[in-house]
Every structure is written in structure tokens, then in C-alpha cells.
Amino acid sequence: MYDGLTISTPIWWAIYIGPQQQKQPDGGGPGCMLYPLIKKCDTQPRVTIRNITLKNIRSTNGVLPPGIIRCNETNPCSDIKFENVYMTGWFTALGLGYITEYAVGSSHNVYPDPGLTSVSMATPTNLDLFSEFVLNYFKN
């Protein structure tokens, strides 16, 4: 359980639950530091993620959307709980929220909603919106 955290102006994802961001120690693998701009970021079914509670967490002025919760289709995250978690930043004005894939759980008194479900599924809407926004921003 993570309880009573205050995050001010995170420059990366305030909440990140999922595959490792760096490359393997031998330098292999894609790493995930630029996900979702670079889509190659495999999840691992051999790693089980479950029983995680985020409670009484506040994050303000986020540079990126509030977070990523990415699990594997054949071994989804389970029993993920968000309680009294409130995130703000520029992303709220654009309607962007968490990037959530294959995570089962619940949320109560949370903003924005992390998109946890009662069944395993991917919800790529925020991923697509965020990628489109960033690519268009740098195109101009």
C-alpha cells in the first residue's frame, strides 16, 4: 500500500505500474522510456502484479498525464485499488487521463478515473489521444 503521498510537478509519470522503463542490464530489449510515443514496450506475462493500493495521494502540475497502468493480456494486474487519489496538470484541460491496459480493480473518490475494470481489457483511448497530441505538437 502507498498511502499519504504528495507529488509536486512530476516531470515523468506520477504513477507507473507496468513493464520496466530501462533496457535490460545487457543493453538488450526496447526499454520503455519513450512509451507511448514509441509503441514498442512489451509487457511480461511471467511477472504478476496484484494487490496494490494507492490511497490518499495528491499530484499537482503534472507534465505528463497522471500515469500508466499496463499489464499483460494473459496475466492482467489484479486487485488494484485507488482511493482518494487526485491528479492535476495541463492534461485535465485536454481530457487526458491514465493509460490503462489489462488492469482489474476499483477506484473511489479519484480524479481522473484510472479506468480500472472488473474484467481484463485494454483501454487505448487515452494512449491514442496523448500520442496524437504530442506528435502534432512537435510537427508544428
DSSP secondary structure of the chain? -EEEEEEES-SS-SEEESS-SSPPTTS-S--STTTTTS------TTS--EEEEEEEEEEEEESS-SEEEE--SSS-EEEEEEEEEEEEEGGGGGT---EEESEEEEEEEEES----BSS--EETHHHHHHHHHHHHHHH-
Q: Please report the pLDDT score of residue 138 as a whole number.
A: 63
Question: Cα 131 to chain center, whole Å?
Answer: 14
pTM of the complete model: 0.79
Give the pLDDT confidence of 49-97 residue by residue, as tens digits. 999 999 999 999 998 889 999 888 888 999 999 999 999 998 877 888 8
pLDDT mean across residues, the chain: 83
Give me the residue spans of the domains in the chain: 2-139
124: pLDDT strictly greater than 60: no
Q: What percent of the chain stands above pLDDT 90?
A: 39
